């Protein structure tokens, strides 16, 4: 009596649906052996597949944190100011300033003490259109 080998055993390439299923099963906590049995594949094939899908972001973050000082030196020497600030923000060394949108494009000028009238003809708050102050009506 001749034993027929299973059709997928020994086959090292997985189809896209099989890859998706293997990754899903791994997320559900199945071992490589259990995934191999479900997909009728060798454990070594599953092991190789899962090794290619390891999330290396935590390792990359640790590496960049370890190299932050040398990286900051390089950025400060080679990059322009905008690039330097962006990199330092990403490394959480110097956070990006948040602009208060309610104050964007406005200039506040206070004469005297806030809340106290400065004279009979002027109120404590005077609004002036800055465009009227320039000859060519261009923004300052």
Give me the count of residues in the chain.
Answer: 140
Q: List the domain boundaries for the chain.
A: 16-55, 58-90
Return the pLDDT at 95: 75
Helices 81-90 and 68-78, packing angle to 10 deg: 160
Answer whether residue 40 shows pLDDT above 90.
Answer: yes
pLDDT value at residue 9: 53
**pTM, entire model:** 0.42
CA distance 35 to 127: 72
Question: CB of 87 within 8 A of CB of 75?
Answer: yes
């Amino acid at each position: 009596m001749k034993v027929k080998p299973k059709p997928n055993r020994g086959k090292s390439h997985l189809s896209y649906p099989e890859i998706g299923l293997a990754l899903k099963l791994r997320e559900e906590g199945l071992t490589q052996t259990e995934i191999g049995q479900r997909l009728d594949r060798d454990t070594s094939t599953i092991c190789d597949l899962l090794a290619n899908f390891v999330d290396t972001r935590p390792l990359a973050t640790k590496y960049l944190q370890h190299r932050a000082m040398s990286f900051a030196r390089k950025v400060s020497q080679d990059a322009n100011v905008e690039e330097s600030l962006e990199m330092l923000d990403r490394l959480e060394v110097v956070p990006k300033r948040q602009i208060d949108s309610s104050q964007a494009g406005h200039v506040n000028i206070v004469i005297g003490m806030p809340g106290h009238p400065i004279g009979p003809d002027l109120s404590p708050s005077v609004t002036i259109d800055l465009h009227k102050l320039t000859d060519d009506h261009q923004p300052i």
